[in-house]
Amino acid sequence: MTKILSAAAALLAVGMLALGATSAPAADKPSVADDVAQRLGITTERLQAAFKASLTARVDAALAAGKLTPEQAAKLKERIAGAKGLGLGANRGFAAKQQALLKGIGARAKSLGAAADYLGLTREELRTELQGGKSLAQVATAEGKTVDGLVRAILAPVKERLAKAVSAKRLTQQRADELLERLTDRVEKRVARSRGD
């Protein structure tokens, strides 16, 4: 998904240029799409069709790889087909929604609330321990808790949010599993790291 979003962002930048230029008055200069088509020796319509076909193929590849749900793929294809210009703006809304979801999930993993609850401390008490130079793992050990249990506690709200996203068809199960694996690795490193590290 990251590669898709990166590609979409790059294509979006080109698309915004092309779409903005297409809407400009054609009195002095041709649009970027017209200019590119002319340089390639093809019609603007053929260039637009090629871009839309390329975007549709990328959506199909993401669907086949389990990066998109069938519903997400269908919505993207519909937006690409109905888009004006080169169809590149069709990915913008989808990419923004995916980024917002991932940002929210990441924020949950960074929260001290779940860690504090598991350790039987207030957030302020835990923050004081961490500011004193201890790692979360050291605090867990001092409180008679396991590091694995702490990691599970921190990830519990993240797992719940991912499960909701999968059931709402905003993420595929495969993508949710990949995200959870990455976040687990990050949380394990964060738990072991002290403030001075």
Q: Is residue 167 part of a domain?
A: yes
Q: Please give the tally of structural domains in the chain.
A: 2
pLDDT of residue 145: 94
- Do 90 and 166 reside in the same domain of the chain? no
pLDDT of residue 105: 55
Q: Is residue 106 part of a domain?
A: no
- Do 93 and 125 reside in the same domain of the chain? no
Q: Is residue 147 part of a domain?
A: yes
- Do 127 and 83 reside in the same domain of the chain? no
Three-state SS across the chain?
CHHHHHHHHHHHHHHHHHHHHHHCCCCCCCCHHHHHHHHHCCCHHHHHHHHHHHHHHHHHHHHHCCCCCHHHHHHHHHHHHHCCCCCCCHHHHHHHHHHHHHHHHHHHHHCCHHHHHHHCCCHHHHHHHHHCCCCHHHHHHHCCCCHHHHHHHHHHHHHHHHHHHHHCCCCCHHHHHHHHHHHHHHHHHHHHCCCCC
**Token pair belonging to 64:** 């086949």
Q: Is residue 197 part of a domain?
A: no
- Do 89 and 116 reside in the same domain of the chain? no
- Do 17 and 73 reside in the same domain of the chain? yes
- Do 91 and 165 reside in the same domain of the chain? no
* Domain region containing 91: 2-99
Q: Return per-residue pLDDT of the chain as tens, 197 residues.
A: 444 444 443 444 344 434 444 444 445 666 777 778 788 888 888 888 888 888 889 888 888 888 888 888 888 888 888 776 665 554 455 555 556 656 655 554 456 888 889 999 988 898 899 888 999 999 999 999 999 999 999 899 889 988 998 898 888 898 889 888 988 998 899 889 876 55
- Do 31 and 87 reside in the same domain of the chain? yes
pTM: 0.50
pLDDT of residue 150: 92
- The last residue of one of the domains, among 99, 134, 162, is 99
pLDDT of residue 144: 95
Q: Is residue 118 part of a domain?
A: yes
pLDDT of residue 119: 92
Q: Is residue 87 part of a domain?
A: yes
pLDDT of residue 3: 46
pLDDT of residue 6: 44
